[in-house]
């Protein structure tokens, strides 16, 4: 035959390829939505791959026509006529009547070709090429019961043509052959021949005869008017005539008879239209080789290759194929078109088998490989249109399943998935390569086509499965199961990812080595979008938020593990896919929310501390322990915050506990600093040393008429005060010290509790409680407490000595002479003070304060001796009195062994002890010692002047020039006065 006509007649064919091509790039979302609906209808046959005929011809009409063409093409072609033997004749006669031979001497061999033994099909070449196994009867070498005896009979049965119709067809062909001896089948117009030679008496009733006439007229209309091989012009007279005849025949039955005028008119118009040739002279009649009419007929013939009962490929497939080839010259079919039609038929029968006949699927896959080779060499646009039509039908079905393969495939039918993917990908690749040939700008690499398709299937199916899991998760949440939907969904998606990895990815890896990676990135993205929406506006930590974020973190780790395992086989380590998995940062989100939770509570606690300390009375009677109630309440609140933290439904306690303890540590430190702020420090409580002073040696120390109380009014230059200074009294100071000691002790308990809670938390999560507590510290508050206790003790001691007791120390001790005002009043006051301290404080903080008080009283005693002011002067005889007084002062703190340790008292009194020997040293020796000390420190003095000693030392000592000079200033004798006046021009008195 010449070049094939277009698949669609007239102008429709010009746009066919473009419309089919554009349909291949349909929107993925629409395809995926359609795919979900493909469930119960899976056993339905595929939609016809060819455009409609435009003529009301049923499948039964087409099957009968196909059988007529097959019988006509299979008749004897030599000088032997086609002989009709009634169906009731013996099988051998039937075989002869239906045999088709090539020569007059090949009658027996032709018959054997149509009456072939079932056992011979075991060696079927077609089945082997398709990968089909022989039938059970063939393997056993026995004939199946009640099977047609001939191949032609098998074809008739599979095409569902009745014996009566078969007899009528053969009678008609005998009549045709009788008048046209030796004429080839392709030169005959079968519908016209049948109309001319058939009689009403051939049919059981008039209605059947009328339907038979209508069928043949519709065949002529379809083949010559609607789908002609050669396009018709609008002015074609024969075409107009034929339309009128057919139209009249539909209203009134066509009169039979070859010589009738109406029949002659019909015959003339039909032969004229069918006799048109594409070029050159030919006696071929083109009534059934126009597209897609011929394909509709041939596709019915291809159905003869399948058993009418179970849809499997018949054992006699080789012989059936041989018969089908005889029709090619009539229908304009070639090997490439046959391959296409047979591929579609194989796949369609797999579909109608409810996708359980895997052999059919495998056969369709093998046959498609043949089509792939054909398509590479195809140049005929008509073939390409047919190719697109059939492959679009196949890909349309496969994509409905593969775009939602989680809905389609399960454990019961997963074995068919690989074949369906193979066919779907192969068909899609052919289509896309065909498009790229027509549109070079859209050419793609083959690997991109295949991988792109697989990625599309994976992403579409998982999007659909994800949406379904979301709906299911919503249904699972109830009043009895208040777990957040996203937490439920995360668990379901994790299960879905595992199912994908174990069931589907091993199949899809054949085409995409990173199938699992694509799947998990898709799920990661889907859940990530939901997580983002969930977190919008969430600034406070709640149990629901924690559950969702914990579930998201666990899901992400599972997905990443699957991806990493999959990426091991990747050339780039899966970087392209990893970039598609921006981390959820669930842990960071949890950390941020928990830190906000911590800050909120720490800030509230700080506000509470400010309010409570403003109202705190520091009353020692507030509780039995004599510490501030606010400290107890604060520590209780800190303890509650710790408990609440470890009860948070998170897995990051060990990571965040350091932030919490740091915040609480800061609050405790803040409390301590605020508690210390209500009183002064040691430096403010200790009076400043006066300038070097000198007594009037030549006169009496006190005026005779001056009363003792006047000395108090005159005061001393030490800055004494008759009453207590502003701020806290002694009992309040003791409570403050107690409070700091209590806080420091309780902080240790907090550390132990936090470590225990953290260890329990780690044990509950991973069974490995290995925390060493390195992240649990209260260093600031502990150091602040320790430093605060020291500062408070020192400040309290100096306040007591230099403020509360200044009237007996600075204003009275040794004023007017060492013998007149001795240390007993100071001792009584100190004893009373110690009683107050012991009544309020106990144990460690009490000893700290008494030690500080001891040091302050020793400092005050030494201050009186070295900077007591003009009301004080000492002689050598006073040294013993002073030593006795100091011994009594030390004895107060030793308390006959019940007080402070002897070593501690000795250490604290070492400075005073180093100075007291200077009071017993004669003046000349003091002067010489002073000069020597000045020379050692500042060099030899000049004759005209003697340098003043350096500033007041940090510690008084017998070798310090400033200390010696101050002893000389308070030495009550002539030698001291002369030396001081001559050397420094000191006055006799200040």
Q: pLDDT for 192-238, tens place per residue?
A: 999 988 888 888 898 999 999 999 999 999 999 999 999 998 888 99
> Would you say 519 and 505 are in contact if contact means Cβ atoms under 8 Å apart?
yes
Can you give the three-state secondary structure of 560-576, one letter per residue?
Answer: HHHHHHHHCCCCCCCHH
* Beta-bridge mates of residue 313: 306
Given a contact cutoff of 8 angstroms between Cβ atoms, the answer to whether 929 and 975 are in contact is no
Non-local (6+) Cβ contacts of 206 within 8 A are: 200
Quote the pLDDT of residue 721: 37
Q: How far is CA 567 from the centre of its chain?
A: 17
- Does 576 score more than 90 pLDDT? no
Q: Which residue has the higher pLDDT, 29 or 456?
A: 456
Report how far Cα 890 is from the mean position of its chain's Cα atoms.
Answer: 75
pLDDT at 320: 94
Q: Which residue, among 938, 929, 935, has the nearest Cα to 959 in the 3D structure?
A: 929
Q: Provide the CB-side half-sphere exposure for 329 (13 A, CA).
A: 13
Per-residue pLDDT, averaged over 350-372, amounts to 90
Band of pLDDT at residue 765, cut at 50, 70 and 90: low
State the average pLDDT over residues 518-527. Answer: 94
795 pLDDT higher than 70: yes
Judged against a pLDDT cut of 80, whether residue 633 lies above it is answered with yes
Q: Is 978 exposed, middle or buried (0-12, 13-18, 19+ CB in 10 A)?
A: middle
- Residue 729 pLDDT grade (very low, low, confident, very high; cuts 50, 70, 90): confident
Mean confidence (pLDDT) of the chain: 81
Q: What percent of the chain has pLDDT over 90?
A: 49
Residues 808-863 pLDDT 10s: 999 999 998 899 899 999 999 999 999 999 999 878 899 999 999 999 999 999 99
| Cβ–Cβ < 8 Å for 363, 130 | yes
Nearest one of 635, 640, 644, 645 to 665, comparing CA atoms: 635
Q: If 0-12 CB within 10 Å is exposed, 13-18 middle and 19+ buried, where does residue 36 land?
A: middle
> Residue 596: is its pLDDT beyond 50?
yes
Banded model confidence at residue 252, pLDDT cuts 50, 70, 90? confident
User: Residues 983, 946: contact at Cβ < 8 Å?
Assistant: yes
| E strand or H helix that includes residue 168 | helix 163-179
Assign 181 a pLDDT band (cuts: 50, 70, 90): low
Domain 804-984 belongs to what topology? Methane Monooxygenase Hydroxylase; Chain G, domain 1 (1.20.58)
Q: Which has more confidence, 90 or 307?
A: 307
Q: Is the pLDDT of residue 951 over 90?
A: no
Instruction: Return the pLDDT at 842.
Output: 78
Per-residue pLDDT, 138: 47
d(CA 96, CA 84) in angstroms, rounded, equals 9
**pLDDT value at residue 714:** 33
DSSP H helical ranges for 767-842: 779-799, 806-809, 824-840
Concatenated DSSP letters of 560-622: HHHHHHHHTT-TTTTHHHHTT-----HHHHHHHHHHHHHHHHHHHHHHHHHHHHHH----TTS
The residues spanned by each domain of the chain are 59-76+147-295, 355-582, 587-690+751-764+774-780, 804-984
Q: What's the CA gap between 668 and 675, in Å, rounded?
A: 10
CA distance 830 to 828: 5
Lowest mean pLDDT among 30-34, 582-586, 730-734: 30-34
Q: Mean pLDDT, to the nearest integer, of 362-383?
A: 89
Reported confidence tier of residue 12, pLDDT bands at 50, 70, 90: very low
Has residue 259 got a pLDDT over 50?
Answer: yes
Mean pLDDT over residues 255-261, rounded? 67
Q: Is residue 712 over pLDDT 60?
A: no
d(CA 799, CA 836): 15
Q: Is 80 exceeded by the pLDDT of residue 119?
A: no
pLDDT digits over 919-945, tens only?
A: 999 999 999 999 998 888 877 766 556
Q: What is the dihedral of CA 644, 645, 649, 655, to 10 degrees?
A: -170
Mean pLDDT, residues 768-797 taken together: 81
Report pLDDT for 495: 95
> What confidence tier does 446 reach under pLDDT thresholds 50, 70, 90?
low
Cis peptide before 841 (omega within 30 of 0): no
How far apart are alpha carbons 813 and 696 in whole angstroms?
20
Confidence of residue 892 (pLDDT cuts 50, 70, 90): very high
pLDDT in tens, 848-875: 999 999 999 999 999 999 988 888 899 9
pLDDT band at 728, cuts 50/70/90?
low
Dist CA 245 CA 501 (whole Å): 67
Band of pLDDT at residue 743, cut at 50, 70 and 90: very high
pLDDT score of 632? 94
Residue 144 has pLDDT above 70, yes or no: no
Which are the contacts of 428, defined by CB distance < 8 A and separation ≥ 6?
24, 391, 395, 399, 449, 453
Residue 7's pLDDT is what? 35
State mean pLDDT over 739-753.
92
Residue 100: is its pLDDT beyond 80? no
What mean pLDDT is predicted for residues 456-465?
A: 95
* Tokens describing residue 84: 């009709």
| CB within 8 Å of 941: residues ≥ 6 apart | 931, 934, 935, 947
Checking 214-217 for CB contacts under 8 A at 24+ apart, the result is 214/249, 214/250, 215/57, 215/61, 215/64, 215/65, 216/191, 216/192, 217/191, 217/246, 217/249, 217/250, 217/254
Share of the chain above pLDDT 70, in %: 79
What DSSP designation does 160 have?
T
Q: How many residues does the chain have?
A: 990
């Amino acid at each position: 035959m010449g070049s094939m006509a277009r698949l669609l007649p007239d102008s429709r064919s010009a746009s066919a390829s473009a419309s089919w091509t554009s349909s291949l790039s349909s929107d993925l979302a629409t395809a995926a939505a359609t795919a979900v609906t493909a469930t119960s209808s899976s056993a339905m046959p595929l939609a016809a791959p060819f455009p409609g005929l435009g003529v009301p011809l049923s499948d039964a009409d087409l099957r009968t026509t196909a059988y007529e063409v097959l019988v006509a093409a299979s008749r004897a072609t030599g000088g032997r006529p086609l002989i009709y033997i009634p169906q009731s004749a013996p099988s051998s006669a039937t075989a002869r009547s239906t045999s088709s031979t090539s020569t007059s001497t090949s009658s027996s061999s032709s018959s054997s070709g149509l009456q072939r033994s079932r056992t011979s099909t075991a060696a079927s070449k077609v089945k082997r090429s398709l990968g089909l196994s022989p039938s059970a009867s063939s393997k056993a070498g026995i004939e199946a019961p009640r099977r047609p005896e001939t191949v032609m009979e098998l074809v008739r049965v599979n095409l569902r043509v009745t014996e009566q119709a078969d007899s009528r067809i053969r009678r008609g062909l005998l009549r045709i052959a009788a008048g046209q001896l030796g004429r080839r089948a392709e030169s005959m117009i079968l519908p016209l021949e049948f109309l001319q030679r058939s009689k009403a008496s051939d049919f059981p009733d008039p209605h059947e005869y009328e339907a038979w006439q209508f069928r043949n007229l519709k065949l002529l209309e379809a083949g010559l008017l609607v789908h002609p091989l050669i396009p018709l012009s609008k002015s074609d007279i024969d075409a107009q005539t034929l339309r009128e005849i057919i139209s009249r025949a539909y209203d009134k039955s066509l009169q039979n008879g070859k010589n009738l005028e109406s029949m002659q008119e019909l015959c003339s118009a039909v032969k004229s239209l069918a006799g048109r040739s594409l070029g050159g002279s030919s006696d071929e009649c083109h009534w059934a080789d126009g597209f897609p009419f011929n394909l509709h007929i041939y596709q019915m013939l291809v159905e003869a290759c399948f058993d009418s009962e179970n849809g499997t490929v018949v054992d006699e497939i080789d012989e059936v194929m041989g018969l089908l080839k005889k029709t090619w010259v009539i229908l304009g079919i070639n090997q490439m078109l046959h391959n296409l039609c047979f591929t579609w038929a194989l796949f369609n029968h797999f579909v109608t088998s409810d996708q359980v006949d895997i052999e059919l699927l495998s056969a369709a896959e093998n046959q498609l490989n043949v089509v792939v080779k054909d398509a590479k060499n195809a140049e005929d646009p008509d073939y390409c249109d047919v190719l697109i039509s059939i492959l679009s039908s196949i890909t349309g079905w496969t994509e409905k399943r593969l775009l939602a393969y989680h809905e389609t495939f399960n454990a019961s039918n997963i074995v068919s998935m690989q074949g369906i993917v193979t066919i779907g990908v192969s068909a899609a690749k052919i289509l896309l390569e065909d498009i790229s040939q027509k549109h070079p700008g859209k050419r793609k690499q083959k690997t991109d086509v295949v991988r792109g398709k697989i990625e599309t299937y994976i992403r579409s199916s998982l999007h659909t499965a994800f949406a379904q899991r979301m709906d299911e998760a919503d249904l699972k949440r109830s009043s009895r199961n208040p777990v957040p939907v996203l937490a439920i969904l995360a668990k379901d998606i994790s299960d879905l990812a595992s199912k994908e990895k174990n069931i589907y990815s091993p199949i899809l890896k054949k085409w995409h080595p990173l199938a699992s990676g694509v799947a998990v990135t898709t799920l990661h993205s889907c859940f990530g979008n939901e997580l983002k929406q969930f977190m919008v506006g969430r600034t406070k930590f709640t149990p629901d938020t924690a559950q969702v974020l914990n579930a998201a973190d666990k899901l992400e780790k599972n997905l990443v593990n699957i991806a990493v395992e999959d990426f091991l086989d990747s050339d780039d380590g899966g970087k392209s896919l990893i970039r598609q998995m921006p981390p959820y940062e669930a842990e960071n989100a949890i950390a941020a929310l928990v830190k906000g939770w911590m800050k909120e509570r720490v800030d509230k606690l700080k506000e509470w501390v400010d309010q409570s300390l403003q109202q705190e009375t520091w009353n020692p009677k507030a509780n039995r322990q004599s510490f501030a109630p606010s400290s107890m309440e604060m520590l209780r609140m800190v303890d509650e915050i710790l408990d609440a933290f470890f009860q948070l439904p998170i897995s990051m306690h060990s990571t965040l506990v350091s932030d919490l303890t740091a915040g609480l540590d800061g609050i405790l430190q803040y409390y301590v600093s605020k508690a210390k702020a209500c009183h002064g420090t040691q430096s403010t409580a200790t009076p400043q040393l006066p300038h070097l002073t000198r007594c009037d040696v030549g006169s009496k120390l006190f005026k005779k008429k001056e009363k003792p109380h006047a000395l108090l009014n005159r005061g001393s230059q030490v800055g004494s005060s008759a009453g207590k200074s502003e701020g806290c009294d002694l009992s309040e100071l003791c409570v403050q010290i107690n409070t700091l000691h209590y806080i420091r002790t309780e902080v240790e308990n907090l550390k132990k509790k936090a470590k225990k809670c953290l260890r329990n938390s780690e044990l509950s999560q991973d069974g490995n409680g290995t925390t060493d507590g390195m992240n649990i510290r209260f260093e600031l508050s502990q150091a602040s407490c320790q430093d605060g206790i020291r500062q408070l003790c020192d400040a309290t001691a100096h306040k007591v000595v230099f403020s509360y007791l200044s009237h007996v120390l600075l204003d009275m001790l040794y004023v007017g002479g060492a013998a007149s005002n001795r240390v007993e009043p100071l001792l009584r006051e100190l004893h009373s003070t110690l009683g107050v301290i012991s009544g309020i404080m106990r144990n460690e903080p009490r000893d700290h304060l008494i030690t500080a008080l001891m040091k302050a009283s020793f400092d005050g005693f030494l201050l009186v001796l070295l900077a007591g002011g003009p009301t004080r002067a000492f002689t050598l005889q006073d040294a013993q009195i002073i030593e006795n007084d100091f011994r009594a002062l030390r004895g107060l703190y030793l308390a006959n062994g019940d007080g402070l340790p002897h070593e501690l008292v000795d250490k604290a009194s070492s400075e005073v002890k180093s100075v007291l020997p200077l009071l017993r040293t004669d003046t000349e020796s003091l002067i010489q010692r002073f000069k020597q000390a000045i020379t050692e420190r500042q060099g030899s003095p000049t004759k005209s002047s003697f340098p003043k000693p350096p500033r007041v030392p940090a510690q008084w000592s017998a070798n310090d020039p400033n200390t010696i000079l101050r002893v000389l200033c308070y030495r009550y004798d002539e030698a001291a006065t002369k030396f001081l006046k001559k050397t420094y021009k000191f006055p006799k008195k200040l």
